[in-house]
Structure 1
Amino acid sequence: MRTRMCRTTTPAGHDAWIVTDYDTVRDLLSDTRLGLTHKDPEQAARLSNSVIFGRPREPTPTDAQDHTRMRRLLGQRFSVRRLAAFEPRVRELVDGLLDELAAASKPADFHRIVSFPLPALVISDLLGVPFAHREQFRQWSDEAADMHDHARSTHGCTELEGYISDTVKQRLREPGDDLLSDLVAAHRAEPEGFTLEKVIGLGMTLLFAGHETTVTAIDTGAVLLATNPGQRAVLGEAEQLPDAVEEILRGSLPRANYFATPEPDDIGGALPRWANTDLEVGGVTIREGEMVLLGLAHANVDEKFVGDYQGFDVARHPNRHLTFGHGAHFCAGAPLARLELQILFAGVVRRFPGFSLAVPVEELEPRADLLTGGLKSIPVTW
């Protein structure tokens, strides 16, 4: 196995290692010698000035137990049975947004009408928080993900935390059939291990991650389908949709060009980790405390993984991309994201056969200041 890694500089101006080949990135995603904690977080290298994923946290004795509990709770809510029961609601939400798109004047902004509201609708339903507050979610999420303005990021996180805290207090008084109520019930069963602070922290993470990352994936899919009519035509067959969605997800990590090979030190789409001991990777010694960036975007276009053609191919199968991670930290919300994307893009292909960009793709403006990437607007016609 040929390991590819080099030194790079993060947006915060700190030194880090970046690993870019598929096999090594996949292996390190499961390596317990790397994690999200650091013995001295204030002195550690930072990815960015964002509070979200920008810096490590201090380890606690309950980290392993907390992770196991979180996986168990989310696994129950995102089980095949629960998602099958939730699917009609997702279809209803998708149909409503596509009705709005169809009624809009051309060109219409796909990001504003569809990409942003759909994940907000879905995660609001799932958590049990009012979708009427979606504009606040948008503002707070964008603030929290700001890579450069730490004060703005802190404000967004504080507001999200306060909002979830108020909702959790309501669920303590009046539980419902939603994910926050599930978390409150788990707190009641284990109040000392799963404190209210941990309930609020997990709820905040779910609200942010379940919304922001899916927005980016939808933006990616819209652009790829709008600019590849030949590939889009293949999706008339329903059995092709799962493969198409995996290919969209493979290209949905923040980067300048969806399927172009990034520069070796390009950190777009990279996950930050910190070494909790000295370790050797590809003949290089990484010292305890150093930052290691796992280049998911690089890995997803590695020739060993994709073969001779790294571009958009809705028939690519199998497609073991690393967008959702790998191993014990594989994204718990992946089944829900896949469900949203499959239902949405099936509807787009069916209802908008002439779906295309209304401007050259080069004119699309990325949300470059946000960790999650995505686009500011996507003018489309059909």
Structure 2
Amino acid sequence: MPTSEDLPTLTTEAQPVLCPSRLESLRTNAPVCRVRTPAGDEAWLVTRHAEVKQLLHDQRLGRSHPNPPAAPKYINNSMVDMLISADAEAAREMHAKSRSVLTPQFSARRINALRPRIEALTTAMVEDFATRERPADLHAHFSLPYALRILYELIGVPEADQGRCAALLASMGQVGSGADPSSGPAALFGLLTEIAAGKRAEPDDDVISRLCETGVPDVEVGALAAALMFAGLEAVATHIDLGVVLLSVHPEQRDRVLRDPAQLAGMVEEVLRSAKRAGATLPRYASEDIEIGGVTIRAGELVLLDFALANFDDRAFATPEEFDVTRSPNQHLTFGHGIWHCIGAPLARLELSTAFTTLFTRLPGLRPAVPSDELVTRAGKLVGGLDELPVTW
């Protein structure tokens, strides 16, 4: 095992998109590896599909540490710091409570009811995008505002608060010394808590109103809504951008799906599996010693589950380096698993399938305006998507 001085170091620096990660060798060597985090602390990085899936079912792993201020860090980010509880049992109870309250808000009935609105919004936004001078920035003028507008409507953010909300969401993803604590998660929680108080007096058909109706206190509504918005924005905007890049590299598979919509769901799943090559999820800590992958993770140690690396594990996927819209089964871990499965996954899938279909039908020649190997992820951010995606058609 490497000494603490020569541990592999994780980074939040810009990385080429669609290229194999330098961490691939760690997955080849062992399922659980000792690494140094961007914050400078030591952690266990879990790289293989079976072990990631196993730990997602393990109640001994969660977002608690007996001494949160002294807990080893993955990154320096105030939102991540706020997630760490001092009480393991209380953290498990809060996680279960949050899921029980939020899951009904993403039922199949509610998602299906949103479909016509999402389809109409997508058509209007793609038509607007098609009028732009080429090359145009898909990220700034479609992917990001598309994901935000659906979130605003779903969550219930009034138009007057949407500009402030967008700025606060962006600040939450900053990492390190560049982050502004005065405009971070506490400010966003406060804004959404104020919105919740207003919804109690004048409810509407949105998540905040329905959470208020269930008796959840305003401050908890604010925190839950903020978490949903941050996770939902990343899942959709990032995968639209990277999906367009991927599909432009594989035009024959893209065109096959456009001719046969029955393959659309498979295409979305393959984009979800293969668009990102590496990137640890939010930090978790062992509340007890855990034996896994030939190592012992001690209580209090930091554990990072790399869903993206696990999605390219050849023990779980045949020829994982190949992009294959017909891949079946496709048990990727992009949305987590078990009690950590993303409750908003059905909505994200609907948004992605609608966006890809509309974009490539209206703009059949849509492709990056620069070589794909020149595209790099954003640096210094919690989420490593693209800052811009110049495209033409």
TM-score (norm. length: structure 1): 0.90
Q: In 2, Cα distance between the equivalents of 1:370 and 1:102?
A: 30
**In the alignment, which residue of structure 2 is the partner of 1:265?**
none
- Spell out, residue by residue over 1:223-275, the C-alpha distance to the aligned partner (whole angstroms, 9 max, x if none): 1122221221111111111011011111344xxxx4xxx6xxxxx23342100
**In the alignment, which residue of structure 1 is the partner of 2:262?**
239
Flag the 1:80–1:307 CA change in 2: closer, same or farther, 3 A: same
Residue aligned with 1:53, SS = helix
Q: In 2, Cα distance between the equivalents of 1:234 and 1:171?
A: 46
C-alpha displacement of 1:363: 2.6
Matches within 5 A, 1:290-329: 290-329=301-340
**In the alignment, which residue of structure 2 is the partner of 1:11?**
38
Contact (CA 8 Å) 1:227, 1:357: kept in 2 or not? no
What is the one-letter code of the residue matched to 1:152? D
The equivalent position to 1:222 in structure 2, one of 236, 244, 247, is: 244
Flag the 1:199–1:324 CA change in 2: closer, same or farther, 3 A: same
- Indicate the RMSD between aligned Cα atoms, in angstroms: 1.9
C-alpha displacement of 1:61: 5.4
**In the alignment, which residue of structure 2 is the partner of 1:39?**
66
Q: Unmatched 5+ residue regions in structure 2?
A: 1-28
Flag the 1:311–1:133 CA change in 2: closer, same or farther, 3 A: farther
Residue aligned with 1:323, SS = coil
Contact (CA 8 Å) 1:142, 1:370: kept in 2 or not? no
- Spell out, residue by residue over 1:275-295, the C-alpha distance to the aligned partner (whole angstroms, 9 max, x if none): 001111122111100001112
C-alpha displacement of 1:132: 5.5
The equivalent position to 1:48 in structure 2, one of 68, 75, 100, is: 75
Residue aligned with 1:112, SS = helix
Matched, 1:102 2:130: yes
The equivalent position to 1:148 in structure 2, one of 176, 179, 187, is: 176
The equivalent position to 1:251 in structure 2, one of 274, 277, 299, is: 274
- Spell out, residue by residue over 1:32-82, the C-alpha distance to the aligned partner (whole angstroms, 9 max, x if none): 010011110011101111123356332275444433332233221211111
Q: In 2, Cα distance between the equivalents of 1:145 and 1:173?
A: 32
C-alpha displacement of 1:131: 4.5
Q: In 1, Cα distance between the equivalents of 2:45 and 2:281?
A: 8
What is the one-letter code of the residue matched to 1:207? M
Q: In 2, Cα distance between the equivalents of 1:285 and 1:65?
A: 26
Between 1:60-69 and 1:13-22, the stretch displaced more is 60-69
Q: In 2, Cα distance between the equivalents of 1:223 and 1:154?
A: 36
Matches within 5 A, 1:226-375: 226-236=248-258, 237-253=260-276, 258=277, 268-375=279-386
Q: In 1, Cα distance between the equivalents of 2:89 and 2:44?
A: 27
Q: In 2, Cα distance between the equivalents of 1:166 and 1:281?
A: 45
Matches within 5 A, 1:172-187: 172-187=200-215
Contact (CA 8 Å) 1:243, 1:314: kept in 2 or not? yes
Q: In 2, Cα distance between the equivalents of 1:283 and 1:249?
A: 30
- Spell out, residue by residue over 1:158-184, the C-alpha distance to the aligned partner (whole angstroms, 9 max, x if none): 221121011011012111111001111
What is the one-letter code of the residue matched to 1:38? H
Q: Unmatched 5+ residue regions in structure 1?
A: 188-193, 263-267
Matched, 1:199 2:227: no
- Spell out, residue by residue over 1:96-152, the C-alpha distance to the aligned partner (whole angstroms, 9 max, x if none): 110111111111111111110111011100111134644433321221111213752
**In the alignment, which residue of structure 1 is the partner of 2:233?**
211
**In the alignment, which residue of structure 1 is the partner of 2:13?**
none
Q: In 1, Cα distance between the equivalents of 2:211 and 2:320?
A: 44
**In the alignment, which residue of structure 2 is the partner of 1:379?**
390
The equivalent position to 2:105 in structure 1, one of 47, 52, 77, is: 77
**In the alignment, which residue of structure 2 is the partner of 1:91?**
119
Flag the 1:136–1:366 CA change in 2: closer, same or farther, 3 A: farther
C-alpha displacement of 1:154: 5.7
C-alpha displacement of 1:329: 1.3
The equivalent position to 2:50 in structure 1, one of 23, 35, 45, is: 23
**In the alignment, which residue of structure 2 is the partner of 1:190?**
none
Residue aligned with 1:149, SS = helix
Percent sequence identity over aligned pairs: 39
Q: In 2, Cα distance between the equivalents of 1:34 and 1:352?
A: 45
Matched, 1:170 2:192: no
What is the one-letter code of the residue matched to 1:206? L
Q: In 2, Cα distance between the equivalents of 1:149 and 1:131?
A: 31
Contact (CA 8 Å) 2:85, 2:91: kept in 1 or not? no
Residue aligned with 1:203, SS = helix
Q: In 1, Cα distance between the equivalents of 2:351 and 2:253?
A: 20
Residue aligned with 2:99, SS = helix
